[in-house]
Amino acid sequence: MEGLNKQQLILLALLVSFVTSVATGIVTVSLMDQAPQGITQTINRVVEKTIERVVTEPQKQTASVITKETVVVKADDMVIEAIEKNQESVVRIQEKTGDGHVGFAGLGLIVSRDGFLAADIGIAYRKADGAGNAIAETYQALFPNGRVFPLNIAYSDQNAGLIFFQVLLQEKEKGVYRLVMPQFNLGDLKLGQAVVALSGADSDAVSTGIISNLVERTAAKPSDGSTTTPQTFKELIAIKTDIRSTELVSGSILLNLSGEVIGFSAGALSGNRNTFLSIRKVFDVFSKIPASATGSL
Protein backbone atom coordinates (compact mmCIF):
# COMPACT_ATOMS: atom_id res chain seq x y z
CA MET A 1 0.00 0.00 0.00
CA GLU A 2 2.82 2.39 0.88
CA GLY A 3 4.45 1.78 -2.49
CA LEU A 4 1.36 2.82 -4.46
CA ASN A 5 1.09 6.27 -5.97
CA LYS A 6 -2.10 8.42 -5.92
CA GLN A 7 -3.50 7.11 -9.22
CA GLN A 8 -3.06 3.53 -8.11
CA LEU A 9 -4.79 4.27 -4.78
CA ILE A 10 -7.78 5.80 -6.61
CA LEU A 11 -8.09 2.78 -8.89
CA LEU A 12 -7.86 0.46 -5.89
CA ALA A 13 -10.69 2.37 -4.12
CA LEU A 14 -12.88 2.14 -7.21
CA LEU A 15 -12.24 -1.59 -7.44
CA VAL A 16 -13.17 -2.14 -3.80
CA SER A 17 -16.37 -0.09 -4.25
CA PHE A 18 -17.35 -2.08 -7.32
CA VAL A 19 -16.76 -5.43 -5.63
CA THR A 20 -18.73 -4.27 -2.58
CA SER A 21 -21.71 -3.15 -4.76
CA VAL A 22 -21.78 -6.46 -6.59
CA ALA A 23 -21.67 -8.39 -3.34
CA THR A 24 -24.48 -6.27 -1.87
CA GLY A 25 -26.66 -6.89 -4.93
CA ILE A 26 -26.09 -10.64 -4.77
CA VAL A 27 -27.01 -10.72 -1.08
CA THR A 28 -30.17 -8.61 -1.67
CA VAL A 29 -31.41 -10.85 -4.47
CA SER A 30 -30.80 -13.93 -2.35
CA LEU A 31 -32.75 -12.45 0.56
CA MET A 32 -35.65 -11.43 -1.73
CA ASP A 33 -35.89 -14.98 -3.05
CA GLN A 34 -36.00 -16.30 0.48
CA ALA A 35 -38.48 -13.66 1.74
CA PRO A 36 -42.23 -14.42 2.15
CA GLN A 37 -44.55 -13.42 -0.73
CA GLY A 38 -46.34 -10.68 1.33
CA ILE A 39 -43.19 -8.65 1.83
CA THR A 40 -42.41 -8.72 -1.90
CA GLN A 41 -45.92 -7.46 -2.80
CA THR A 42 -45.68 -4.64 -0.28
CA ILE A 43 -42.40 -3.43 -1.74
CA ASN A 44 -43.83 -3.56 -5.29
CA ARG A 45 -46.94 -1.55 -4.27
CA VAL A 46 -44.80 1.15 -2.71
CA VAL A 47 -42.78 1.48 -5.89
CA GLU A 48 -45.92 1.59 -8.08
CA LYS A 49 -47.58 4.33 -6.01
CA THR A 50 -44.46 6.41 -6.04
CA ILE A 51 -44.30 6.21 -9.84
CA GLU A 52 -47.96 7.24 -10.14
CA ARG A 53 -47.39 10.41 -8.10
CA VAL A 54 -44.41 11.36 -10.19
CA VAL A 55 -46.45 10.99 -13.41
CA THR A 56 -49.77 12.58 -12.42
CA GLU A 57 -48.59 15.54 -10.39
CA PRO A 58 -47.40 17.59 -13.42
CA GLN A 59 -50.73 16.90 -15.12
CA LYS A 60 -52.66 18.40 -12.20
CA GLN A 61 -50.43 21.44 -12.23
CA THR A 62 -50.97 21.93 -15.97
CA ALA A 63 -54.77 21.73 -15.59
CA SER A 64 -54.81 24.40 -12.88
CA VAL A 65 -52.96 26.79 -15.14
CA ILE A 66 -55.45 26.29 -18.03
CA THR A 67 -58.45 27.23 -15.86
CA LYS A 68 -56.92 30.64 -15.18
CA GLU A 69 -57.09 31.80 -18.80
CA THR A 70 -58.83 35.17 -19.23
CA VAL A 71 -61.37 35.81 -22.01
CA VAL A 72 -61.46 39.39 -23.27
CA VAL A 73 -64.92 40.62 -24.36
CA LYS A 74 -64.95 43.64 -26.65
CA ALA A 75 -67.60 46.36 -26.32
CA ASP A 76 -68.48 45.91 -30.01
CA ASP A 77 -69.30 42.26 -29.40
CA MET A 78 -71.56 43.19 -26.48
CA VAL A 79 -73.47 45.71 -28.63
CA ILE A 80 -73.96 43.14 -31.40
CA GLU A 81 -75.18 40.53 -28.94
CA ALA A 82 -77.56 43.01 -27.28
CA ILE A 83 -79.15 43.82 -30.65
CA GLU A 84 -79.46 40.17 -31.69
CA LYS A 85 -81.24 39.35 -28.43
CA ASN A 86 -84.00 41.87 -29.10
CA GLN A 87 -84.58 41.99 -32.84
CA GLU A 88 -87.42 39.45 -32.70
CA SER A 89 -89.15 41.35 -29.87
CA VAL A 90 -89.64 44.60 -31.81
CA VAL A 91 -92.39 44.85 -34.45
CA ARG A 92 -93.35 47.58 -36.90
CA ILE A 93 -96.88 48.81 -36.41
CA GLN A 94 -98.65 49.85 -39.58
CA GLU A 95 -101.84 51.89 -39.90
CA LYS A 96 -104.41 51.10 -42.54
CA THR A 97 -106.90 53.76 -43.54
CA GLY A 98 -110.32 53.30 -45.07
CA ASP A 99 -108.99 53.87 -48.57
CA GLY A 100 -106.65 50.92 -48.17
CA HIS A 101 -103.45 52.90 -47.66
CA VAL A 102 -100.92 51.18 -45.39
CA GLY A 103 -98.09 53.15 -43.81
CA PHE A 104 -95.56 52.88 -41.01
CA ALA A 105 -96.83 54.29 -37.70
CA GLY A 106 -94.19 53.37 -35.15
CA LEU A 107 -92.45 50.52 -33.37
CA GLY A 108 -94.09 48.18 -30.89
CA LEU A 109 -92.41 46.26 -28.08
CA ILE A 110 -93.64 42.83 -27.02
CA VAL A 111 -94.38 43.03 -23.29
CA SER A 112 -96.40 39.85 -22.79
CA ARG A 113 -96.64 36.34 -24.21
CA ASP A 114 -100.39 36.97 -24.32
CA GLY A 115 -99.73 39.09 -27.39
CA PHE A 116 -99.56 42.60 -25.96
CA LEU A 117 -97.44 45.29 -27.58
CA ALA A 118 -96.50 48.62 -26.02
CA ALA A 119 -96.37 51.64 -28.33
CA ASP A 120 -96.39 55.42 -28.33
CA ILE A 121 -99.96 56.72 -28.06
CA GLY A 122 -99.13 59.26 -30.74
CA ILE A 123 -99.31 56.63 -33.46
CA ALA A 124 -103.07 56.23 -32.94
CA TYR A 125 -106.02 58.58 -33.34
CA ARG A 126 -104.03 60.78 -35.71
CA LYS A 127 -106.33 61.07 -38.72
CA ALA A 128 -109.30 63.48 -38.72
CA ASP A 129 -111.75 64.74 -41.30
CA GLY A 130 -112.49 68.36 -42.13
CA ALA A 131 -114.85 68.66 -39.15
CA GLY A 132 -112.17 67.39 -36.78
CA ASN A 133 -113.71 63.98 -36.31
CA ALA A 134 -111.33 61.04 -36.01
CA ILE A 135 -111.15 58.80 -39.06
CA ALA A 136 -111.42 55.13 -38.27
CA GLU A 137 -108.14 53.32 -38.72
CA THR A 138 -107.06 49.76 -38.30
CA TYR A 139 -103.62 48.59 -37.26
CA GLN A 140 -101.43 45.63 -38.05
CA ALA A 141 -98.06 44.38 -36.88
CA LEU A 142 -95.24 43.46 -39.24
CA PHE A 143 -93.01 40.94 -37.48
CA PRO A 144 -89.29 40.46 -38.25
CA ASN A 145 -90.03 37.13 -39.95
CA GLY A 146 -92.35 38.87 -42.43
CA ARG A 147 -95.62 37.73 -40.85
CA VAL A 148 -98.40 40.34 -40.56
CA PHE A 149 -101.11 40.15 -37.89
CA PRO A 150 -104.04 42.50 -37.21
CA LEU A 151 -104.01 44.45 -33.94
CA ASN A 152 -106.69 45.45 -31.50
CA ILE A 153 -106.36 48.45 -29.18
CA ALA A 154 -106.51 47.03 -25.65
CA TYR A 155 -105.71 50.01 -23.44
CA SER A 156 -104.29 53.53 -23.56
CA ASP A 157 -103.04 56.03 -20.99
CA GLN A 158 -102.92 59.62 -22.22
CA ASN A 159 -100.90 60.89 -19.25
CA ALA A 160 -98.20 58.27 -19.68
CA GLY A 161 -98.35 58.55 -23.47
CA LEU A 162 -98.69 54.79 -23.92
CA ILE A 163 -101.03 52.59 -25.88
CA PHE A 164 -101.21 48.79 -25.79
CA PHE A 165 -102.25 46.65 -28.72
CA GLN A 166 -103.09 42.96 -28.69
CA VAL A 167 -102.10 40.69 -31.56
CA LEU A 168 -105.09 38.91 -33.11
CA LEU A 169 -104.30 35.37 -34.22
CA GLN A 170 -106.43 32.96 -36.17
CA GLU A 171 -107.77 30.00 -34.25
CA LYS A 172 -105.37 27.59 -35.93
CA GLU A 173 -102.40 29.74 -34.85
CA LYS A 174 -103.38 30.12 -31.21
CA GLY A 175 -101.11 28.05 -29.01
CA VAL A 176 -98.76 27.50 -31.95
CA TYR A 177 -97.34 30.89 -32.86
CA ARG A 178 -95.22 32.20 -29.99
CA LEU A 179 -94.06 35.75 -29.43
CA VAL A 180 -90.47 36.31 -28.32
CA MET A 181 -90.27 38.18 -25.03
CA PRO A 182 -87.18 40.32 -24.39
CA GLN A 183 -85.42 40.56 -21.06
CA PHE A 184 -86.22 43.62 -18.95
CA ASN A 185 -84.15 45.40 -16.32
CA LEU A 186 -86.24 47.20 -13.72
CA GLY A 187 -83.27 47.93 -11.47
CA ASP A 188 -81.34 51.12 -10.83
CA LEU A 189 -79.49 52.84 -13.65
CA LYS A 190 -76.23 54.78 -13.46
CA LEU A 191 -75.05 58.02 -15.00
CA GLY A 192 -72.49 57.34 -17.70
CA GLN A 193 -73.82 53.82 -18.27
CA ALA A 194 -73.35 52.66 -21.86
CA VAL A 195 -76.63 52.13 -23.74
CA VAL A 196 -77.83 51.00 -27.16
CA ALA A 197 -80.94 52.25 -29.00
CA LEU A 198 -82.75 49.93 -31.41
CA SER A 199 -84.94 51.74 -33.91
CA GLY A 200 -85.64 52.18 -37.62
CA ALA A 201 -88.77 52.69 -39.71
CA ASP A 202 -87.99 50.40 -42.65
CA SER A 203 -85.22 48.28 -41.18
CA ASP A 204 -83.30 47.99 -37.93
CA ALA A 205 -81.08 50.96 -37.05
CA VAL A 206 -78.70 51.08 -34.11
CA SER A 207 -77.32 54.01 -32.12
CA THR A 208 -75.00 53.93 -29.11
CA GLY A 209 -74.27 56.38 -26.33
CA ILE A 210 -74.40 56.84 -22.55
CA ILE A 211 -76.97 57.89 -19.97
CA SER A 212 -76.40 61.63 -19.53
CA ASN A 213 -79.16 62.37 -17.02
CA LEU A 214 -81.75 60.57 -14.90
CA VAL A 215 -84.81 62.74 -14.31
CA GLU A 216 -86.52 61.85 -11.03
CA ARG A 217 -89.31 63.20 -8.88
CA THR A 218 -90.37 62.56 -5.29
CA ALA A 219 -93.59 60.56 -5.11
CA ALA A 220 -95.68 59.32 -2.21
CA LYS A 221 -95.84 55.62 -1.41
CA PRO A 222 -99.29 54.06 -0.88
CA SER A 223 -100.02 53.83 2.83
CA ASP A 224 -100.15 50.33 4.30
CA GLY A 225 -101.57 51.51 7.64
CA SER A 226 -98.44 50.62 9.60
CA THR A 227 -97.41 54.26 10.08
CA THR A 228 -98.94 57.72 9.92
CA THR A 229 -95.74 59.27 8.60
CA PRO A 230 -95.94 59.89 4.84
CA GLN A 231 -93.54 57.66 2.94
CA THR A 232 -91.90 58.86 -0.26
CA PHE A 233 -89.63 57.44 -2.93
CA LYS A 234 -87.72 58.61 -5.98
CA GLU A 235 -89.62 57.89 -9.18
CA LEU A 236 -87.66 57.80 -12.42
CA ILE A 237 -89.43 60.00 -14.96
CA ALA A 238 -87.07 60.02 -17.91
CA ILE A 239 -83.77 58.59 -19.11
CA LYS A 240 -81.77 61.15 -21.06
CA THR A 241 -78.96 60.00 -23.31
CA ASP A 242 -76.39 61.64 -25.55
CA ILE A 243 -77.65 59.63 -28.54
CA ARG A 244 -78.22 61.86 -31.55
CA SER A 245 -79.59 60.05 -34.54
CA THR A 246 -82.20 60.78 -37.18
CA GLU A 247 -82.91 57.04 -37.26
CA LEU A 248 -84.69 57.14 -33.88
CA VAL A 249 -88.44 56.81 -34.34
CA SER A 250 -91.46 56.58 -32.09
CA GLY A 251 -91.29 53.38 -30.05
CA SER A 252 -87.51 53.00 -30.11
CA ILE A 253 -86.18 50.84 -27.29
CA LEU A 254 -83.18 51.49 -25.06
CA LEU A 255 -80.93 48.60 -24.04
CA ASN A 256 -78.02 48.09 -21.69
CA LEU A 257 -74.97 46.15 -22.86
CA SER A 258 -76.42 42.95 -21.39
CA GLY A 259 -79.26 43.16 -23.91
CA GLU A 260 -81.91 44.05 -21.33
CA VAL A 261 -84.61 46.62 -22.14
CA ILE A 262 -84.36 49.63 -19.83
CA GLY A 263 -86.27 52.36 -21.70
CA PHE A 264 -88.94 53.07 -24.31
CA SER A 265 -89.58 56.11 -26.48
CA ALA A 266 -93.22 57.16 -25.97
CA GLY A 267 -95.49 60.00 -24.95
CA ALA A 268 -94.23 63.54 -24.60
CA LEU A 269 -90.70 62.16 -24.36
CA SER A 270 -90.84 60.73 -27.88
CA GLY A 271 -90.66 64.28 -29.24
CA ASN A 272 -87.11 64.44 -27.92
CA ARG A 273 -85.71 61.35 -29.58
CA ASN A 274 -82.79 60.84 -27.20
CA THR A 275 -85.01 60.75 -24.09
CA PHE A 276 -86.77 57.55 -23.02
CA LEU A 277 -89.49 56.48 -20.63
CA SER A 278 -88.27 53.97 -18.03
CA ILE A 279 -89.40 50.41 -18.69
CA ARG A 280 -90.68 50.25 -15.12
CA LYS A 281 -93.21 52.96 -15.99
CA VAL A 282 -94.32 50.95 -19.02
CA PHE A 283 -95.11 47.97 -16.82
CA ASP A 284 -96.84 50.13 -14.21
CA VAL A 285 -99.28 51.24 -16.90
CA PHE A 286 -99.52 47.74 -18.40
CA SER A 287 -100.63 46.37 -15.02
CA LYS A 288 -103.77 48.56 -15.26
CA ILE A 289 -105.15 46.61 -18.21
CA PRO A 290 -108.35 44.82 -17.06
CA ALA A 291 -108.01 41.07 -16.73
CA SER A 292 -110.96 40.66 -19.10
CA ALA A 293 -108.88 42.23 -21.87
CA THR A 294 -106.14 39.62 -21.63
CA GLY A 295 -106.31 36.41 -23.57
CA SER A 296 -104.02 33.54 -24.32
CA LEU A 297 -102.09 32.89 -27.46
3-state secondary structure of 191: coil
Provide the pLDDT for residue 261.
Answer: 97
Provide the pLDDT for residue 247.
Answer: 73
Total Cβ atoms within 10 A of residue 240 = 17
| pLDDT mean across residues, the chain | 80
Provide the pLDDT for residue 270.
Answer: 67
Provide the pLDDT for residue 244.
Answer: 80
Provide the pLDDT for residue 134.
Answer: 59
Which phi and psi (to 5°) does residue 275 adopt? -115, 135
d(C-alpha 52, C-alpha 54), whole Å: 5
pTM of the model: 0.69
Provide the pLDDT for residue 220.
Answer: 75
Q: Which domains does the chain have, with CATH numbers?
A: 6-66 (no CATH), 86-173 (2.40.10.10), 194-281 (2.40.10)
Provide the pLDDT for residue 226.
Answer: 67
Provide the pLDDT for residue 128.
Answer: 60
C-alpha of 64 from chain center: 29
d(C-alpha 96, C-alpha 84), whole Å: 29
Which phi and psi (to 5°) does residue 279 adopt? -65, -25
Query: Which alpha helices (DSSP H) does the chain contain, by range?
Result: 6-34, 37-66, 75-86, 279-286
Provide the pLDDT for residue 45.
Answer: 43
Task: Give bridge partners of residue 239 from the DSSP assignment.
Answer: 214, 276
Residues of the chain with pLDDT under 50: 38-58, 60, 64, 296-297
Provide the pLDDT for residue 18.
Answer: 80
Compute, in degrees rounded to 10, the torsion defined by CA atoms 37, 42, 43, 47. Answer: 140
